[in-house]
Structure 1
Amino acid sequence: MPECRSKGFGAAVLRAIEAIAAEQGIARFHLLTTTASGFFEQQGYAVNQRGLAQPLIFQTEQFRELCPGSSCYMCKALPFDNG
C-alpha cells in the first residue's frame, strides 16, 4: 500500500517484533532482501557478505534456494535484557 509508506508503520512493527524476540532471548536477526536494504540499514541492520553467514544461517532454505544470490544479507544484534 503506497499510501502507508514513509509513515513509520514498518519501523514500528519491526521494533515490536525485535522487542518480543529479545524478550525470548534471541540475540541476533538475520535477513535477506532484494528491495529493502535501505530501510533495514535505517533500522540498524548491517550489510554482510553472504559467504560469512554462520553455518546454521547458511544452511537455511532461504539461503540455499529461495532467495536469489543477488539478495543483500543483513543482520542486527538485538539488545539483551537479562531483566
Structure 2
Amino acid sequence: MKIRAAQSEDLEVIKALLAENELPVADVNAAMLADFLVAEDEGGRIVGSVGLERLGVDALLRSLAVARTARHARLGTMLVAHAESMARASDISDLWLLTTTAAGFFRRMGYVDVDRSKVAAEVKSTTQFAQLCPATAACMRKTL
C-alpha cells in the first residue's frame, strides 16, 4: 500500500469510498483535499482515505474509510498514524473526531471519549459536528 497526499482528481473516488462506508460526504469538497491522504493498492486504486479539518491548534480527524476489499491489513491504523504525523508537523495540539461505529478502534489508537459539552468551540462549529453526525456519535480527542 502507498499512502500519499490527495489530489483534486481524487475527489469523486474519495466521496464514493466515504459513501460505501456510510460516512458523511455532503461537506467534502476540493478545498478540503489539501489536508487529506489516500491509500492506493498495488494497482493504483484508492482503497483508503483520511482527512484533517484544521481549526487553529485543533483539528477534526475525519473521513477515515477503508474499502471492503482492503480491510484487515491495518490500513486504517496506518492512515490514522500518517494523519497524526501530518497534524504534529502542522503544530496541531488536539485531534477530535466523531464516530458511530469505530470508537473501540480509536480508543486503541489512544483517543479518549469526551463529553460533547467539553468540545472546543471551533470543533462544535464544524458542519460535521453541528449537522452531519448524529448526537449519538461518540466524541473523542487525542492530545498530540
Q: TM-score, normalised by structure 2?
A: 0.51
Structure 2 spans left out of the alignment, 5+ residues: 1-66
Partner of 2:84: 18
Q: Read off the aligned partner of 1:31 and give its amino acid letter.
A: L
User: How is 1:27-42 mapped onto 2 (pairs within 5 angstroms)?
Assistant: 27-42=93-108
Matched, 1:52 2:118: yes
Structure 1 spans left out of the alignment, 5+ residues: 79-83
**Cα offset, 1:40, TM superposition:** 0.4
Partner of 2:39: none
Q: C-alpha root-mean-square deviation of aligned residues, in Å?
A: 1.2
**Cα offset, 1:38, TM superposition:** 0.6
Percent pairwise identity: 33
| Higher RCO, Cα 8 Å, sep 6+ | 1
User: How is 1:41-80 mapped onto 2 (pairs within 5 angstroms)?
Assistant: 41-78=107-144
SS at match of 2:86: helix
In proportion to residue count, which structure has more strand? 2
**Cα offset, 1:4, TM superposition:** 3.3
Q: TM-score, normalised by structure 1?
A: 0.84
Partner of 1:81: none
